[in-house]
Structure 1
Amino acid sequence: MDKPVIAQKAPKMLTLEPGTYFWCACGRSQNQPFCDDSHKVTSITPMAFTIDEKKDVWLCQCKYSKNKPFCDGTHRTL
């Protein structure tokens, strides 16, 4: 199985509106932290997640969080 590429060793804080988003799980997207279909050359697929109300989120960019797509601080140990 393919391993994700570390896009960045820091989360990205975004204010998201309600809706469904596709988080890049492979680390290859040029539109981090969101999917741009770069995963198609890997066995990794993006993760869909839904936001119910407008809110600030910290999205993982190291791709190794145990709370994907959200940052859990794992990037500090890589």
Structure 2
Amino acid sequence: MTEPICVQKAPYAVELEAGDHYWCACGRSKNQPFCDGSHTGTSIEPVKFTLTQKEIKYLCGCKTTKHAPFCDGSHSKL
């Protein structure tokens, strides 16, 4: 399995519209924290999540969260 790349040791605070979103789990996307297809050729897939309303979410930047795609503080142990 390919290991994810830690992009930053902090979450991304993003205001998102209702609908489907795809979080980059591999760390290779140039459009962090969202997938741009850069995972192609790895064994890592993006994580789809759906919001029912516009809201602020804290998405993992270190790619080690146990609650993907949301930050769980795992970056503090890196």
TM-score (ref. length: structure 2): 0.96
Alignment partner, residue 72 of structure 1: 72
Q: CA RMSD in A?
A: 0.6
Alignment partner, residue 18 of structure 1: 18
Alignment partner, residue 52 of structure 1: 52
Q: Distance in 1 between matches of 2:54 and 2:36?
A: 23
Q: Distance in 2 between matches of 1:55 and 1:10?
A: 19
Where do 5+ consecutive residues of structure 2 fail to align? none
Where do 5+ consecutive residues of structure 1 fail to align? none
Deviation track 1:14-46 (CA, whole Å, cap 9, x = no partner) reads 111101000000000010000010000211010
Aligned-pair CA distance for 1:63: 0.6
Q: Distance in 1 between matches of 2:42 and 2:31?
A: 17
Aligned-pair CA distance for 1:8: 0.8
Q: Distance in 2 between matches of 1:76 and 1:33?
A: 18
Q: Deviation above 6 Å: which 4+ runs of structure 1?
A: none
Alignment partner, residue 41 of structure 1: 41
The number of equivalent residue pairs is 78
TM-score (ref. length: structure 1): 0.96
Q: Distance in 1 between matches of 2:42 and 2:8?
A: 19
Identical amino acids, percent of aligned pairs? 55
Aligned-partner SS, 1:71: coil
